[in-house]
A and B are shown apart, each in its own frame.
Chain A
Amino acid sequence: MARTTSIMLAGVGGQGTILASRVLAQLLLNEGHDVKMSEVHGMAQRGGSVTTHVRYGKDVDAPTIAPGQADFMLVFETMEAARVAHYLKPGGTIVANEREISSLPILIAREEYPDDIPERLERRGIDVRWADAYSIADNLGNIRVENVALLGAFSTVLPFAEDAWKKALTQVIPERHLKINTAAFDKGRQLGKK
């Protein structure tokens, strides 16, 4: 059976994981792959955790990634990286945003934001590449492009040319927002290359 590659995106509702996954899926389609993409709406909105499963290859069967089977992960928030870490395959790569968003128990001061996430992931033997996508977006003057900056950092771990990513961005992002998103993507990609 032809090998299927699995990529999981994870974050917090409202962070723009869906746009990032649409760009990724478009790129994969352009490259001639069969693609399946799965996300769950519903209670996930209103500030809950969100994940999108993207799988590509010759003929993709299962629409979801089972625990221990993700080749790559793109995570938009620090605590979420720990929440989904068990989905990563041994030897897989996580690109994660250095961004802390407090959840309900933390906001109402019943719990504290964990400060040991990077160590815990290291202890699991996971290769995490941390990226500060928020600062890129902030420096560009629009925090909403944080997602595309992070996607830029992630783009370096997949075997696709920069042009292919740019083409997918052009297809998915509306003309009027393209310039700033491309700038964010470029800055993220530079960060990813380091």
Chain B
Amino acid sequence: MKSLMTGNEAIARGAWEAGVRFATAYPGTPSTEILENIAGYDEIHSQWSVNEKTALETALGGSIAGLRTLCAMKHVGLNVAADPLFSSAYMGVNAGLVIITADDPGCHSSQNEQDNRNYAKAAKLPLIEPSNSQEALDYIKIAFELSEAYRTPVLFRITTRLAHGKSTVAVGERVEVEPREYVRDVSRFVLMPAQARACHIALEDRLAKLEDYACSTQLNRVEWGSRKLGIICSGVAYHYAHEVFGEEASYLKLGMSYPFPKQLVRDFAAEVDRLVVIEELDPFIEDAVRAIGIEVEGKSLLPRVGELDSSIVARAFGKADDETPVPEKVTGRPPMFCAGCPHRGVFYELGKLPVVITGDIGCYTLGSLPPFAASDTCICMGASISAGIGFQKAFGIMDPENPRRAVAVIGDSTFYHSGMTGLLDAVYNGVGLVTVILDNRITAMTGHQENPGSGYALSGQTAPEAKPEEIAKAFGIKRVATVDPYDLAQVKKTLEDSLADPHPSVIVSRAPCALLKRAAVRKPPYYVDQDACRKCKVCLKVACPALYVEDGKARIDAAVCVGCGICAQVCRFGTIKQIEKGGEN
């Protein structure tokens, strides 16, 4: 019997079957589970890199050295890795290299919905797009063959629906692939201008050959139905189109959409009365069709924004007879800090200060929402510190006597990813920014991945533990403090002291994520003394899932409370108390 697999599981399985020996990634939804699954295969050495740039450079090194290598990241990760991406196209590979980009149409868990198919065109790399888990598994194997046959890295693009959607898969067996010998070759592995010019000529030549391949490969196939309508599509969009039109259309399904298979498209277009492109996000295929002088419709009917579904496609083509159902208006259910989250107290204190808070990406992005309403910005990973430098500099230029202050807030994984360079920048440029590093000992947002400070590697083995305090001191920062985020008075005092200092300073707030099992300490829950509660609701300002109001008075759900004690410190009347063992309930 076939089994159900997510696209991410299928990619991991496909990589294993393809004889892959080495894999790197930095976590990011929806790509994270690719490496987590690969880590389960003993034949593949896998590792979390510190960021996507180091991940891709490491993977490129592994491929040139001679091993089939896979590198995975979310779409915005490829922005971070764009520099080595472009170089890798020029120099080419030795053993196969496949780079997975997991795009997120609909922004389910991202700061944008950029369409990374554009990177294939910009960097001049072949682009492969599966539309379900079986194709993900099969196409990964083809991608490695292609990579070696044409000596090129292959960009493999998936979307959230594919990454996290399950569909049926039949698996195969692993084929062991001999490592390829590494031969020193400065003509392509040292990109100085003279070499780069020659590499570029070779690259254009390779693209022409890849286009011939794209016109004949099984990755691109025609399914004939009615010739009244011809649909060109790729990825999950194929299934939405097929669900709506079935036999009433013919399909050119592109599993390899770059280099664009011009002749294949011309031949298909010649056979159909009306030609349309059904694709998510940008008109990537549509523009390419139009560029070869063929009349086509696409984004004039379909949205450029968000995910497609079968109803959006049906309505765009007048195939739905009913009205779009109107949703009920109901109170929202936004995500919130978990009970016992160490970020809560820090944002409670930060929210009371008259400072600008440059935030960053992680669970703590929630610190921008009510009731904390603390952070002012969230740009991209690492930007809290560098944008904070900009704010602090600008405030100083505008009001040298009494500048407004900026505080940067960044998570541990994000600090190692791309915050360290910003911190050094603050020291170098003498900017008195206060940087708060929320060290919850794990990469929490993406589901608890290890990082350089957590003490463990992807394999589960122990690893050297980076210390943000030591890094800050080595950079030359004099005021470096460590606080317990469950001690609000200490957090407040330390913030005030740092803000009084005109030089750059660092506060490390250290306590493990409340969901981190290996660090769990069971503490008795708190309760609200119902006779003493004065109904002031101040405790609700810490927005805890365990705290609620009944008949005007605060109450604590003992099944949810983990005993962190933040609410008790906020209560001005001392009515929130901890249950003593075997005591009040």
Contact = CB atoms under 8 A, between A and B. Distances in A.
B267 interface: no
Interface residues of A, number: 55
B166 A25 contact: yes
Interface string B534-557: 000100110111011100000000
Contacts of A1: 246-247
B166 A36 contact: yes
A63 interface: yes
A80 B547 CA distance: 21
B168 interface: yes
A68 B322 contact: yes
A120 interface: yes
A62 B242 CA distance: 8
Interface in A65-98: 65-69, 79-80, 82-83, 85-87
A127 interface: no
Interface string B265-289: 0000000000000000000000000
Contacts of A87: 325
A60 B545 CA distance: 39
A17 B406 CA distance: 42
B239 A111 contact: no
A112 to B, nearest CB: 8
A122 interface: no
B334 A86 contact: no
Nearest to B311: A66
Interface in A34-62: 34-49, 60-62
B332 A38 contact: no
Contacts of A42: 29-30, 108-109
B312 A66 contact: yes
A83 B333 CA distance: 10
Contacts of A34: 168
Contacts of A120: 328
A109 B164 contact: no
B186 to A, nearest CB: 44
Q: Which 5 A-B pairs have the closest CB atoms?
A: A42-B109, A66-B311, A46-B335, A61-B243, A86-B325
Interface of A: 1, 4, 12-13, 25, 29, 34-49, 60-69, 79-80, 82-83, 85-87, 102-111, 113-114, 117, 120, 124, 143
25 contacts: A1-B247, A25-B4, A29-B1, A29-B3, A29-B4, A35-B166, A38-B161, A43-B109, A43-B335, A46-B337, A46-B338, A46-B366, A49-B333, A61-B239, A61-B310, A63-B165, A66-B314, A79-B330, A83-B330, A83-B333, A85-B327, A106-B331, A107-B545, A110-B370, A113-B331
Given A41-B30, A60-B167, A108-B540, 6 more contacts: A1-B246, A49-B333, A61-B310, A63-B236, A86-B325, A106-B548
